Amino acid sequence: MSTTNFQASIGALAVSLFARWSQENFFRYEREHYGLDRLVEYGTELIPETEVVNPQWRQLDSQIRSRAGQCYRLRAEFGALALSEGLSEPEVRSYEQRQGQLQEEIQQLEVEIDNLKQQRKQTAHHIPIQSLPQEERFTCLRTERKHFLDTIKMIAYRAETSLVSLLREHLARSHDAMRRRSDMFAVFKPSVRTGPTCERSFQ
């Protein structure tokens, strides 16, 4: 067992690990048999009050990264230049010109990077989503009906688990109850349509 928590005991880590496995098995079963992640309704709604990354800050950060990459490549080229012996005077002149050109470009990029960093420092990293222009605001899928149906699905899973526990008491081999689970699911599977509605109302 590998972990980055060096303070917890082995017993506590084992309990957490088995609990995580139980959760993963639960969600996998819910997705396969109850469509837990299934889309149940078309339509979107505005995201409630929250903070998002400022688009201006993101643009400045992208420009800084781009120019830093250019500067890195120019420095690598500048460091790779080497003046060999036995060069003619035109070759030496070309070498010096290229070296001076690279140094000038590097200095110019460094100035641009410093200016952009100052602008980024003065720009808020996160802003309320309401501060964004209307066309740039995010939306999310409607959640009210989704939460209601997911609650019903989880209740149905608990009921199914209880039926398996009752069935286990009447079987010669208790582990056969899990195999019967799929049969019970087919018997008790509701015929109610839980797919997305045809309403396409968007906000």
Cross-strand pairs, 52: 127
Most confident of the following: 114-118, 149-153, 180-184: 114-118
Tokens standing for residue 10 = 């082995």
Residue 165: partners with Cβ closer than 8 Å, 6 or more residues away:
177
Tokens standing for residue 48 = 């409630």
What pLDDT is attached to residue 61? 95
Q: DSSP labels for 126-193?
A: EEEGGGS-GGG--EEE--HHHHHHHHHHHHHHHHHHHHHHHHHTTSSSTTHHHHHHHHHHHHH-----
Closest CA to 18 of 36, 37, 1: 1
What pLDDT is attached to residue 28? 87
Tokens standing for residue 137 = 């605001």
Sign of the C-alpha dihedral computed for residues 61, 64, 70 and 76 taken in this order: negative
Percent of the chain with pLDDT over 90: 20
pTM of the model: 0.49
Interval 32-56 mean pLDDT: 82
pLDDT tens digits, residue range 1-25?
A: 567 777 778 888 888 888 888 888 8
pLDDT tens digits, residue range 119-142?
A: 999 999 998 888 888 777 778 788
